[in-house]
C-alpha cells in the first residue's frame, strides 16, 4: 500500500481539447448471462479442471447483461467521454443477441458517452478456430452484421483486442482458451487474426465507418544486460510481442524472417499483407509494463502468473526496485513514454494518431491509493510522450469494473468500481473519484 506522501499532489498537466478520456471492459469478463448466448472457446476452456486458478467461470461475472443500466449510470457519473466495451460474437450469433448491444449503445449514447465497441476480445464462438483461415472470412461477415446494426450510433470501432496475447497465451502456451501448447506452431493463429483485422477494416469502411483502429498490446523490452546473448533474446521478444503485430498492421510487412513462417505461399502471404496493412484512422495501444529479457536459462520461469517453458529462446527476468501490483507486474510509468516515442521513431509517418486503449493495474481494496498512484504516473508519462511530439488522442483505463480476469478468475481486481461477486453490488473505489476529477480537469 502506498503511503500518504506517495499520493499525487502535483497539478496534472493539461491535455488538449477533444482528448478522449474513457474506460474499457470486455464482454466475456463482465456480461454473464451465459445461457443467453452460444458457447465460446472460453466456456470450454474454463470447464477444464485447474485452468482458472480460483475454479470460477464467467457464467455470471458482473451480470452486466442484466445490470447494464446501472453500469452506464456509473459511466455517466464518472464523466468519461467514451466507453470501450466488446461485442460477444457468440451472443450476436444467438437469437436476440444483437438486441442487447442495441440497448447498450442506446443507453451509452443517452448518457452522453461515445460507445467504442471492440469486435473481438478473445471469446471466439466454440467450433471456430483461428488456426483455420476461414475464421477470418467468418469474422468479416459477423463484423458487417454488427456494423449494419450499430453503425448509425457508433463512430469509433476497434477490430481486435491483443491478438498477441490471444496467440501466445491461448495457442502457444496453453494458459488461455483454447488451451493449445503449440509454441511456434501457433503462428498461423496470429496470421489469421491479423487477416481478420484487415478484412474487418474493409467491412467496416464498406458499412460507412470512418474511425477504425485496433487494440494491440505493447511494451518496451529491456535486455537483462549488455551481453550480446541477452540483447539478442530481448530483440527476439520485441519481435514476438511488438513488431510481429505492429509491423504488418502499420507497414503491411512482417519483420524479416517472419513472413516465411506464416501459412500460405509467399504470394499468398503478400496478398494477405495488402489487406492487413489497410491504413487505420488510429492505432490503439494497451500498455501495462515493460519486460526485462535475457538469454534462455534452460529452466521454466514464472512470469505474471504464467509458467514459461524452458525451451523458449529467451527468459524473462525480474525488473528490480519497482513496486509490484497484486498481479506481480512492475510499475514503470516511464515505460509508456519510452514505448510511444519508440513507436514514433520506428514507424514515423506510418503511425496514425495513437489512443491508449488500456492501462491499469490489479489491487485489492476500496481505498486504492496504489491504483491512483499507478494511473497518475502513467497519465503524466503519456503527457510527456505528447510533449515529445507523439500524437496521442485518448486514454482508456482498464477497467470500469472488477471482472473475470481470465485464468486468474476473480482474484485480480482491475476496476475503478468494486464488484462484490456474491451480491453483485457495485461500489466506486477511491480511484473512481480520482479519475472523475482528472476527467473534469483534463477538459
Ligand atoms: O483483463 C485483461 C484484458 O482482457 C486484456 N488486456 C489486459 C487486461 C489485464 O490483464
pLDDT in tens for each of the 443 residues of the chain?
Answer: 444 444 556 889 999 999 999 999 999 999 999 999 999 999 999 999 999 999 999 999 999 999 999 999 999 999 999 999 999 999 999 999 999 999 999 999 999 999 999 999 999 999 999 999 999 999 999 999 999 999 999 999 999 999 999 999 999 999 999 999 999 999 999 999 999 999 999 999 999 999 999 999 999 999 999 999 999 999 999 999 999 999 999 999 999 999 999 999 999 999 999 999 999 999 999 999 999 999 999 999 888 778 899 999 999 999 999 999 999 999 999 999 999 999 999 999 999 999 999 999 999 999 999 999 999 999 999 999 999 999 999 999 999 999 999 999 999 999 999 999 999 999 999 999 999 999 998 76
357 lines ligand 1 (CB under 6 A): no
Q: Contact 290/220 with Cβ under 8 angstroms? A: yes
C-alpha cell at 365: 481494496
Q: Is residue 87 part of a domain?
A: yes
Q: Is residue 356 part of a domain?
A: yes
Residues identified as active-site: 162, 358
> Is pTM, for the whole model, over 0.85?
yes
Counted domains in the chain: 1
pLDDT confidence of residue 441: 84
Q: What is the domain extent for residue 157?
A: 20-442
Q: Contact 162/197 with Cβ under 8 angstroms? A: no
314 lines ligand 1 (CB under 6 A): no
Q: Compute, in angstroms, the gap from residue 229 CA to the centroid of ligand 1.
A: 31
Range list of H helices, 64-219 = 64-78, 89-92, 97-110, 134-150, 163-167, 187-206
89 lines ligand 1 (CB under 6 A): no
Q: Is residue 9 part of a domain?
A: no
**Which region holds residue 76: left if phi is over 0, alpha if psi is between -120 and 50, else beta?**
alpha
402 lines ligand 1 (CB under 6 A): no
Whole-angstrom distance between the N-terminal and C-terminal Cα of the chain? 30
Q: Is residue 220 part of a domain?
A: yes
Q: Compute, in angstroms, the gap from residue 414 CA to the centroid of ligand 1.
A: 9
Measure the CA–CA gap between 185 and 62, rounded to whole angstroms. Answer: 35
> Which of 284, 358, 396 for mutating ligand 1's site (highest number of atoms within 8 Å of CB)?
358
Residue 358 alpha carbon, nearest atom of ligand 1: 6
Measure the CA–CA gap between 87 and 117, rounded to whole angstroms. Answer: 6
CATH number at residue 420: 3.20.20.80
Q: Compute, in angstroms, the gap from residue 14 CA to the centroid of ligand 1.
A: 28
C-alpha cell at 144: 458487417
Q: Compute, in angstroms, the gap from residue 405 CA to the centroid of ligand 1.
A: 7
Q: Is residue 15 part of a domain?
A: no
120 lines ligand 1 (CB under 6 A): no
Q: Is residue 5 part of a domain?
A: no
C-alpha cell at 147: 456494423
C-alpha cell at 256: 524479416
Residue 48: strand, helix, or coil: coil
* DSSP states along 338-405: HHHHHHHHHHGGG---EEEEE------SSS-HHHHHHHHHHHHHHHHHHHTT--EEEEEEE-SB----
pLDDT confidence of residue 443: 66
Please name every residue paired with 294 in a beta bridge, in sequence order, or none if there are none: 315
C-alpha cell at 42: 472460453
Render the burial of 196-228: b for 16+ CB within 10 Å, e for the rest: bbbbbbebbeebebeebbbbbbbbbbbbbeeee
Q: Is residue 229 part of a domain?
A: yes
Q: Is residue 13 part of a domain?
A: no
Q: Contact 58/46 with Cβ under 8 angstroms? A: yes
Q: Contact 166/176 with Cβ under 8 angstroms? A: yes
254 lines ligand 1 (CB under 6 A): no
Amino acid at each position: 500500500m502506498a503511503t500518504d506522501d506517495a499520493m499525487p499532489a502535483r497539478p496534472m498537466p493539461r491535455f488538449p481539447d477533444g482528448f478522449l478520456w474513457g474506460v474499457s471492459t470486455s464482454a466475456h469478463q463482465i456480461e454473464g448471462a451465459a445461457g443467453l448466448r452460444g458457447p465460446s472457446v472460453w466456456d470450454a476452456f474454463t470447464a477444464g479442471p485447474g485452468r482458472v486458478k480460483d475454479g470460477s467461470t464467467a457464467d455470471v461475472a458482473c451480470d452486466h447483461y442484466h445490470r447494464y443500466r446501472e453500469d452506464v449510470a456509473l459511466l455517466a457519473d464518472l464523466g468519461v467521454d467514451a466507453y470501450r466495451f466488446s461485442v460477444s460474437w457468440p451472443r450476436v450469433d444467438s437469437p436476440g443477441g444483437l438486441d442487447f448491444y442495441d440497448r447498450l449503445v442506446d443507453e451509452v449514447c443517452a448518457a452522453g458517452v461515445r460507445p467504442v465497441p471492440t469486435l473481438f476480445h478473445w471469446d471466439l464462438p466454440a467450433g471456430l478456430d483461428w488456426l483455420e483461415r476461414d475464421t477470418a472470412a467468418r469474422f468479416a461477415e459477423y463484423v458487417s452484421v454488427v456494423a449494419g446494426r450499430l453503425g448509425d450510433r457508433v463512430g469509433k470501432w476497434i477490430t481486435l483486442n491483443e491478438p498477441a496475447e490471444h496467440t501466445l497465451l491461448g495457442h502457444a502456451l496453453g494458459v488461455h482458451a483454447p488451451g493449445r501448447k503449440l509454441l511456434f506452431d501457433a503462428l498461423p493463429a496470429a496470421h489469421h487474426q491479423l487477416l481478420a483485422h484487415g478484412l474487418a477494416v474493409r467491412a467496416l469502411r464498406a458499412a460507412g465507418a470512418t474511425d477504425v483502429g485496433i487494440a494491440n498490446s505493447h511494451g518496451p523490452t529491456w535486455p537483462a544486460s549488455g551481453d550480446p546473448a541477452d540483447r539478442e533474446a530481448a530483440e527476439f521478444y520485441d519481435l514476438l510481442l511488438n513488431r510481429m503485430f505492429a509491423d504488418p498492421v502499420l507497414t503491411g510487412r512482417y519483420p524479416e524472417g517472419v513472413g516465411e513462417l506464416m501459412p500460405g505461399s509467399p504470394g499468398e502471404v503478400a496478398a494477405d499483407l495488402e489487406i492487413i496493412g489497410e491504413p487505420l484512422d488510429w492505432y490503439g495501444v494497451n500498455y501495462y509494463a515493460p519486460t526485462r529479457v535475457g538469454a534462455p536459462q534452460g529452466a521454466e520461469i514464472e512470469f505474471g502468473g504464467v509458467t514459461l517453458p524452458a525451451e523458449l529462446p529467451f527468459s524473462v527476468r525480474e525488473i528490480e526496485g519497482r513496486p509490484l501490483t497484486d498481479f506481480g507486474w512492475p510499475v514503470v510509468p516511464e515505460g509508456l513514454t519510452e514505448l510511444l516515442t519508440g513507436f514514433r521513431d520506428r514507424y514515423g509517418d506510418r503511425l496514425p494518431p495513437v489512443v491508449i486503449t488500456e492501462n491499469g493495474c490489479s489491487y485489492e481494496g476500496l481505498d486504492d491509493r496504489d491504483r491512483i498512484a499507478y494511473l497518475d504516473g502513467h497519465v503524466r508519462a503519456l503527457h510527456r510522450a505528447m510533449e515529445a511530439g507523439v500524437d496521442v488522442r485518448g486514454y482508456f483505463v482498464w477497467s470500469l469494473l472488477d471482472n473475470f480476469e481470465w485464468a486468474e478468475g476473480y482474484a485480480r481486481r482491475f476496476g475503478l468500481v468494486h464488484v462484490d461477486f456474491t451480491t453483485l453490488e457495485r461500489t466506486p473505489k477511491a480511484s473512481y473519484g480520482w479519475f472523475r476529477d482528472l476527467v473534469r480537469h483534463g477538459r
